[in-house]
Amino acid sequence: MEVNIQTEPGRVIARLRGEIDHHAAIRLREKLDRVIEGGEYSLLILDFSEISFMDSSGIGLVLGRYKLMKRLGGHLLVRGACSRILWMMQMAGLEKLQIFETERTKKHETDE
Amino acid sequence: MKPMNESRITFLSRSMNEGFARAVTAAFISQLDPAVDELADIRTAVSEAVTNCIVHAYPDRLGPVFLTLRLYENGKIQIRVRDRGCGIPDVSKAMEPLFTTGGEDRSGLGFSVMQSFTDRVRVLSRPGKGTTVTLEKYINRRRGEGTD
Ligand SMILES: Nc1ncnc2c1ncn2[C@@H]1O[C@H](COP(=O)(O)OP(=O)(O)OP(=O)(O)O)[C@@H](O)[C@H]1O
Ligand SMILES: [Mg+2]
């Protein structure tokens, strides 16, 4: 598991790479939360394009970061998840949270 | 029916062994030539069962996890994951979607994922004694059809 964390004014973009299981999620959570809590960010983008495997620990990770961003008055977006991962996230009811990047949210971001 | 091949592996409940369990399982079942999706289903289900031993069965100590893999002529794969940990007081409750005793980092979806990615999930548990999860999946179904 590797993560490339890029910060811009107001937002954090984390590009995840490899396999997300419980072992990886613990380390990932620590890295992400350190960055998020160490600045003033209103948007966290988790990019799943390079993720080759995820189990329910990945859902817990996303839910936990969603709650953290809400607590900080911000929002979370999930980018590039393959159909398998999307399906698991939908199983968890995550589509209700409006965290999946769509053409509309994409446009909104670049307009800012 | 007797399995045509079998493998048993025991490892400690360290989180780094989640990847190990997926890798040995994938290597062992590769002799049945599973499709990419079938392999992904099985890797995910094994990961869920093994992670539960590491997270829940032995919450504050290390203990053994027993993984048994059995392959059958008809394309059935049976995977048994056993621990000697704390056990589950109410199995049917534990298997309900979103039920978790795990806190903010757990979503309570492990058993649901196992159920949707395999054909059968059985759970036997005795509080204080341990838990056995048996997963079964049939692979190569479509490719087998129509041949002799
Ligand atoms: N091997 C086990 N030993 C003891 N308790 C277990 C075991 N496996 C599962 N459980 C119990 O069953 C509950 C549900 O398990 P399940 O895998 O569905 O969800 P979870 O592990 O809590 O969350 P997730 O898998 O989504 O991270 C757990 O919270 C735990 O209480
Ligand atoms: Mg679980």
Distance A96 CA to ligand 2 centre (A): 22
* B75 backbone φψ class: left, alpha, beta (φ>0; ψ -120 to 50): left
Candidates A29, A51, A54, A55: best to mutate against B (most CBs of B within 10 A) is A55
What is the tens place of the pLDDT at every residue in A77-107?
999 999 999 999 999 999 999 999 876 666 6
The pair of structure tokens assigned to B30 is 């590769």
Active site residue B48: yes
Q: Domain span at residue B37? A: 5-138
Name the band, by pLDDT with cuts 50, 70 and 90, for residue A112.
very low
Instruction: For residue B94, tell me if it sits in a domain.
Output: yes
**Where along chain A do its domains lie?**
2-111
The complex's ipTM works out to 0.93
Cβ neighbours of A92 in B, within 8 Å: 98, 107, 109
Task: Indicate whether B147 pLDDT > 70.
Answer: no
- Distance of alpha carbon B141 from alpha carbon A57, whole angstroms: 30
Q: Which two tokens stand for residue B93?
A: 């409750």
When CB atoms are compared, the residue of B43, B51, B97 closest to A57 is: B51
In the sheet that B120-126 helps form, which strands lie side by side, from edge to edge? B5-12, B64-71, B76-83, B130-138, B120-126
Per CB-CB distance under 8 Å, the chain A contacts of B54 are 22
Spatial contact of B20 and B88, defined as CB atoms under 8 Å apart: no
Q: Within a domain: residue B147?
A: no
The enclosing domain of B130 has a CATH number of 3.30.565.10
Residue A19's pLDDT band, with cuts at 50, 70 and 90, is very high
**What does the pLDDT read at residue B105?**
86
**Model pLDDT for residues B35-66, shown as the tens digit of each residue:** 999 999 999 999 999 999 999 999 999 999 99
Residue nearest to atom 19 of ligand 1 (CA): B108
User: What is the atom index within ligand 1 of the atom nearest the CA of B99?
Assistant: 14
The reply to whether the predicted model has a pTM over 0.90 is yes
- Would residue B146 count as lying in a domain? no
DSSP single-letter state for residue B129 = T
The predicted pLDDT at position A105 comes to 66
Task: Kindly give, in sequence order, each residue whose CB lies less than 8 Å from that of residue B109, ignoring residues fewer than 6 positions away.
Answer: A56, A59, A88, A91, A92, B97, B98
Residue B145, in any domain of the structure: no
Q: Are B102 and B55 in contact (CB under 8 A)?
A: yes
Torsions phi, psi for B13 (to 5 deg): -80, 55
Nearest one of B115, B113, B45, B106 to B80, comparing CA atoms: B45
Nearest CA owner, ligand 1 atom 2: B57
Token pair 């999706």 is at which residue? B37
On whether the CB atoms of residues A40 and A75 are closer than 8 A, the answer is: no
Active site residue B52: yes
Cα B136 to ligand 1 centre (Å): 19
pLDDT value at residue B146: 47
Angle formed by the axes of helices A83-91 and B110-117, nearest 10°: 130
Over residues B74-128, the pLDDT tens digits come to 999 999 999 999 999 999 999 999 999 998 889 999 999 999 999 999 999 999 9
Domain A2-111: state its class: alpha beta
What's the domain count of chain B? Answer: 1
Parallel/antiparallel/unpaired status of strands B120-126 and A75-79:
unpaired
- Has B5 been annotated as catalytic? no
Question: Does any domain span residue B144?
Answer: no
